[in-house]
Amino acid sequence: MLSGKEIWAAFGRVIRREMRLMFHQPIYFYSTLIVMMVCTIFFLTLLHRGQPERMPVAVVDMDCSTISRRIVHELNATQSVVVAYRCADFAEARRMMQRGDVYAILVIPENLYNDMLSFKRPTLTFYINATYTMGATVAYKQLMMFGNLASGAFQREVLRKKGLPDSLIMQRIQPIVIDGHMLSNPSSNYSVYLSSVLLPGILGLIVLVITVFSIGMELKWKTSRNLLAEARGSMVIAMVGKMVPHIMVYTTMGISLNILLFRIMGFPMNGSLVWLCVGMFLYILAVQSIGVTIVGLLPVLRDALSISALYGMLSFSLSGFTFPVEGMPGPIQVFSWCFPLRHYFRLYVSEALMGNPTVDSMVFIGCQLLFILPQYLVHKRLKNAFIYQNYPLK
């Protein structure tokens, strides 16, 4: 048995050894700091507008009257769409849409103006290009609203001719009004949706891969016996000591990221940022534990890296921040619990968006804590691999 002093000395040696490795290999610097910074800058600048605006649509104007020109004019005045092309026939517009140049087509029928005046109800036709779902949804919403406003405007004119006062006309045209309240994200800013989970997800991906890499490299370079010797043969000291420098780097990165998002960028935060940062810390520990488990089960650097890449990329889908997990098949819903990003996402919703009491967030923090355990199950197997180095190196 080691005495307390020896344990601390061993820890110190392993930590110093790991830090030396980290500083001497540029790959650590590139694949953590540089990659994370590039991704942060990329996503925050890409989504800085928050809402997709001025989606190009094509108009097929078969009427060519003052009213159809006014429709084009009014459409251009809206925020969400812009009439990018005015086509002479539908075939041309269809090609535009197939080419992905426009997200929707508006067909204005012949004799629109005359038919309106003679109460024949001419029909406007929209074609929506759902190949690109985001642009299509924005364009569709705007066109639908536009269609209703057009009818409303016509009725207003009729009622005005009848001599009704404007105050009465409004409630005539719109007997029901829905006041929408977008809770805690009033402008439905997509950056808030995506960046606050996507970026921690990328951080998690980096943590996972680097953890696997740093342990796998010990096996590949056959330095694992040296590591064990420094740790006085204790697997716990070796692994924890090895992880401590990494944890410090990633936690600093994670917390700076949260401060950047919620303090500097001003993303909504209805709960406590401190708890979200605690969640971030535990999320990093959880992901590291999974990395250790993977490399423990498959002590071959190449296989462990492939598996963690597969797992890491899946975590974006299965965390449910784009397509809700509730809409996925049952087995996948259960499987989604195995992803720390899922729990981090739920903690984020509970803390930042809903502003729930801290007690509610504890569930998600507890889930992250559970992830720390499985790495201890593979310690024995990993120790054998460390000693005998009997796995393929390539």
- Comparison of 236 and 393: residue with beta carbon closer to other proteins: 393
List 10, 57, 169, 202, residue binding other proteins (CB under 8 A): 202
- 122 sits near other proteins (criterion: CB under 8 A): yes
In whole angstroms, the minimum distance from the beta carbon of 390 to other proteins comes to: 11
Say which residues have a Cβ less than 8 Å from residue 244's Cβ, sequence separation at least 6.
Answer: 11, 15, 18
Q: Is 163 in the site for other proteins (CB under 8 A)?
A: no
176 contacts other proteins (rule: CB under 8 A): yes
* Interacting residues with other proteins between 14 and 43 (CB under 8 A): 27, 30-31, 35, 38-39, 42-43
Cβ nearer to other proteins, comparing 2 with 309: 309
The CA distance from 197 to 318, in Å, is: 12
Beginning with the edge strand found earlier in the chain, give each strand of the sheet holding 55-61 in spatial order.
81-87, 55-61, 104-108
Among 19, 240, 328, 362, binds other proteins (CB under 8 A): 328
How far are the Cα atoms of 69, 126, 160 from residue 157, in angstroms, in the given order? 18, 25, 5
Piece of 192-200, 240-248, 249-257, 286-294 that binds other proteins (CB under 8 A): 192-200
Nearer to other proteins, 173 or 362 (CB): 173
Instruction: Determine, following the binding rule CB under 8 A, whether residue 179 of this chain makes contact with other proteins.
Output: yes
Query: Per rule CB under 8 A, is residue 265 in the interface with other proteins?
Result: no
The C-alpha atoms of residue 156 and residue 118 are separated, in whole angstroms, by: 16
Amino acid (1-letter code) at residue 9: A
305 is an interface residue for other proteins by CB under 8 A: yes
The amino acid present at 387, given as its one-letter code, is I
Closer residue to other proteins (CB): 350 or 375: 350
Q: To the nearest 10°, report the CA torsion of 228, 233, 237, 242.
A: 0
> Does the protein bind other proteins through residue 128 (CB under 8 A)?
yes
Least distance (Å) between residue 14 CB and other proteins: 19
Residues 70-109 that bind other proteins (CB under 8 A): 95, 97-100, 103
Cα 131–137–138 angle (5° rounding)? 125
DSSP 276-313: HHHHHHHHHHHHHHHHHHHHHHS--HHHHHHHHHHHHH
Q: How far is CA 364 from its chain centroid?
A: 18
Q: What is the CA radius of gyration of the chain?
A: 29
Residues 334-373 interacting with other proteins (rule: CB under 8 A): 346, 349-350, 353-356, 360
**Would you count residue 55 as binding other proteins (CB under 8 A)?**
yes
Taking CB under 8 A as the criterion, the residue among 58, 60, 93, 129 binding other proteins is 129
- Does residue 374 interact with other proteins by CB under 8 A? no
The b/e string for 259-271 (b: 16+ C-beta within 10 A; e otherwise) is: eebbeeeebbbeb
Q: Does 180 bind other proteins (CB under 8 A)?
A: yes
Asked if 276 interacts with other proteins (CB under 8 A), we say no
